Structure 1
Amino acid sequence: MNDADELIAAQIRSVLAVAADNGGVAPIVEAGDPVLRQVTRPFGGQVDDAELAQLAEVMRATMLAAPGVGLAGPQVGVGLSMFVAEDPGSHDPETAEVRQRAPMPLRVVLNAQYTPAASDDVAFFEGCLSIPGYQAVVARPREIELKGQNLDGTSIAEVVSGWSARIVAHETDHLEGIMFLDKAEMRSLSTNTSVATFWNQPSTQKAAAELGFTLPSGMLM
């Protein structure tokens, strides 16, 4: 292995060691750490299958403990192109319909890339475990085409839609050193408390009208 791959292997083993002493959960890296702004390296055998599976388990446990619905390698300090995602969906029928938020079973994706698979964007509040306490409205494609590999190495080439597409796009952006605030409507930036107090509607129409920003053309919800 070259030096870069040896660094990835060392990062993974460090995370596994820390998690082993912390109930299987790793610390989440917060905004300002350089690892969040670096382009990740593709998985290419830097560690064996057992260690890679252990990393996936730690990342899922860390994500759920936060709690969150997605977590990328850089968020635990590993510059590897890998993310985990799992979403129980929305328990509110109206929110589930407006946001197209259906349950998404656990998935672990290596070397992810995505492109828009539909011409329309939708804009909703989202947050990030690496920027705790804040949310902002981000416009993202309603559907994306995801390519990558599963944990067992099988290829992925599929269309992901609705809220699951938002999660996948958010986590894949992390692999390119992109954070959600880079794409956010900054007039919408709100604390979690403010979102719960003022903007807990299924849609973002009220927030757009009262905070003074524009939703994507054709977004009627």
Structure 2
Amino acid sequence: MEIIIRRLSQRLSPSPFINLCKTPIIRSHHKPILNYYNNLYQLITIIRPFSSSTARTPSRWLSGFGTRKKITNLPRIVQAGDPVLHQPARDVSVEEIGSDRVQKIIDDMVQVMRRRPGVGLAAPQIGIPLKIIVLEDIKEYIAQAPEEENIAQDRRPFDLLVILNPKLKKKSNKSAFFFEGCLSVDGYRALVERYLEVEVNGLDRDGKPIKVDACGWQARILQHECDHLDGTLYVDKMVKRTFRTVENVDLPLVNGCPKQGVR
């Protein structure tokens, strides 16, 4: 966010309008004008930068309504290139699970995911190399996507899941290609092949065993989040020629790319 302090006078510009998006170049040899101009700096305007995630109504992946909410006093979502996203996370020990630290990490993850909003988050995405994932998909998010898209993706709502030390295995060899994105690779999408049915075993936030049998879009989210715990981003698995900005996600695929849908 940039702060531009400016006030233009009629002497400097014949236009009554103030350009708040571009700072004029003042040559150093025009000292009288420079001094006069500096004395006119009285207007403070805060300009919110354009964000690709608000340019359309994203409903295809970890984007919820597509309107970012201000996150105060919460961890930031780290972006691709940060080492924590590219190395394996470690297990949470049984002794750690009930600790205030781990419970706060879980609470922070849930709040960050919901406020973004998104439908899944892994601890490395807030800079913590622990094997913790949270995920949730609600009716309000799903309603933002066309009904035919939700049907094709087998996307249905599910309640909040908190899984520590998840272990994922496929339940069948059936797979599908759909566009995927990531809060840590902001503003981009690409086709990724995922299994249609998976099973995840782990511990809940109280340290009790939990097992999730998932299919369709929930299975995709689980695979995406578990990849984070291995230091893998979706761009490591994407069909490279389908990589694009979120604004271009609906443009035709180039020749040779797999079509979206179940294989």
TM over 0.5: yes
Aligned mates of 2:215, 2:188 — CA distance in 1? 25
TM-score of the two chains, using structure 1 as the length reference: 0.79
> Once the two structures are aligned, what percentage of the paired residues are identical?
36
Amino acid at match of 1:214: P
Corresponding residue of 2:258: 214
Corresponding residue of 1:34: 83
Residue among 25, 42, 51 paired with 2:74 = 25
Corresponding residue of 2:12: none
Aligned mates of 2:215, 2:123 — CA distance in 1? 23
Aligned mates of 1:48, 1:152 — CA distance in 2? 7
Change (3 A) 1:47 1:214: closer
Q: Deviations over 1:6-30 (max 9, x none)?
A: xxxxxxxxxxxxxxxx634211111
Corresponding residue of 2:123: 73
Residue among 89, 102, 105 paired with 1:52 = 102
Amino acid at match of 1:84: V
Where 1:132 maps in the other structure, the secondary structure is: strand
Answer whether contact 1:121 1:216 (CA < 8 A) is retained. no
Corresponding residue of 1:96: 150
Corresponding residue of 1:161: 215
Change (3 A) 1:213 1:188: same
TM-score of the two chains, using structure 2 as the length reference: 0.67
Tell me if 1:111 matches 2:165.
yes
Q: Deviations over 1:145-171 (max 9, x none)?
A: 111111111112332111001001100
Residue among 122, 126, 132 paired with 2:186 = 132
Where 2:242 maps in the other structure, the secondary structure is: strand
Aligned mates of 1:154, 1:99 — CA distance in 2? 31
Where 2:186 maps in the other structure, the secondary structure is: coil
Q: Deviations over 1:83-122 (max 9, x none)?
A: 1111125223222211000012111110012111112101
Amino acid at match of 1:140: R
Higher helix share: 1
Amino acid at match of 1:31: A
Q: Which runs of 5+ in 2 are unaligned?
A: 1-70
User: Runs of 4+ in structure 1 displaced over 4 angstroms?
Assistant: 215-218
Aligned mates of 1:50, 1:60 — CA distance in 2? 15
Give the CA RMSD over aligned residues.
2.0
Answer whether contact 1:41 1:80 (CA < 8 A) is retained. yes
Aligned mates of 2:215, 2:74 — CA distance in 1? 30
Corresponding residue of 1:9: none
Where 2:92 maps in the other structure, the secondary structure is: coil
Tell me if 1:120 matches 2:177.
no
Aligned residues: 188
Amino acid at match of 1:78: I
Bigger Rg over Cα? 2
Change (3 A) 1:218 1:166: closer
Aligned mates of 2:196, 2:73 — CA distance in 1? 34
Q: Which runs of 5+ in 1 are unaligned?
A: 1-21, 200-205
Where 2:124 maps in the other structure, the secondary structure is: helix
Amino acid at match of 2:132: M
Answer whether contact 2:152 2:261 (CA < 8 A) is retained. no
